[in-house]
Amino acid sequence: MPSQKEIRSRISSTISTQQITKAMKLVSATKLRKASDAIVRMRPYAEKLKGIMANLQDSIEDPQLAVYFQTREVKNVLLVVITSDRGLCGAFNSNVIKRTRQILTEKYAEQSKSGNVTLLCIGKKGAEFMRKLKYNVDATYMQTLTVLDAEKAFELGEHVLQSFRNGTYDQVEVVFNQFKNAATQILTNEVILPVTPQVKSVDAKKVMVNDYLFEPNKVQILQDLIPRSVKTQIYRAMLDSLASEHGARMVAMDKATENAGELLFSLRLAYNQARQAAITREISEIVGGVAALEG
């Protein structure tokens, strides 16, 4: 059995750890409120963009727009992998990394073997892990989530669009955690380039009104709208990931605080048992000494 001194030391360190985890939970809860508000405000805008594109997609056969919809032979792939900069958030990062490795070994096995897959890692954890596995990692935008704003996200989106337009990559896919609530994150991967036109149902075609007036014209509107939509998808994925990270960390720290409380209970019980055993032993030694003197 450990000595009383050792148990007291463990109790002290556990209390310190519990205070840290409790503080981290409160910090994550505060950040989660801000991040969840941001993604809730962002989603209607992203959905509206999709709706507008659906109304204009009858112009996608225009040669000036073909580059965004062109389905090429997939030789070079860009995977945008969104993780966090810090750990202590449960399985948040490991789930993204596992999904990324699964995509690399199954969906893009041939491209991966030939070294034609680039991982654009947003977040230190994903970049560091993938570098250890010797994957081709682009860490240019690794710290974008540190202070996330639309300008930085759109700059990254423009880089992705330009790489696709000039033929550097034939397909772009993003892997991230979609935020549902504080306790639930939905692991998601979706192809953002080439753009896939939405398939309209027969009923939707009947309901649509075709007497819109477009200024300047459909093609010029789509020339601005399609890149904006792709950038918005990337920004939305980053906001989703940020909110998911804080939710996962809050839950993880709450569980850690709870576990620390249970450990403290066990340690204090063990300390009391050791203390009682020591007192009993001392009494026995005293009684034995008195009996020896009397004898």
Give the integer Cα–Cα distance in Å for 88 and 21.
10
pTM of the model: 0.86
pLDDT at 213: 72
Q: What is the pLDDT of residue 266?
A: 95
Q: What tokens appear for 245 in the block?
A: 């990270």
21-197+212-253: CATH class: alpha beta
d(CA 176, CA 244): 9
Each of the 295 residues of the chain gets a pLDDT tens digit; together they read 678 889 999 999 999 999 999 999 999 999 999 999 999 999 899 888 877 776 666 666 677 778 888 888 999 999 999 999 999 999 999 999 999 999 999 999 999 999 999 999 999 999 999 999 999 999 999 998 888 888 999 999 999 999 999 999 999 999 999 999 988 999 999 999 998 876 655 454 444 445 567 777 778 888 888 899 999 999 999 999 999 999 999 999 999 999 999 999 999 999 999 899 888 888 988 888 888 888 6
- Give the pLDDT score at 262: 96
Q: Where are the domains of the chain?
A: 21-197+212-253
Catalytic member of 7, 53, 80, 89: 89
pLDDT at 200: 54
Q: Do 21 and 257 meet the contact criterion of CB atoms below 8 Å apart?
A: yes
Q: What is the pLDDT of residue 207?
A: 45
Tell me, yes or no, if 89 is annotated catalytic: yes
Q: Please measure the distance between the N-terminal and C-terminal CA atoms of the chain and give it in whole angstroms.
A: 34
Contact 122, 140 (CB under 8 A): no
pLDDT of the residue at 1: 66
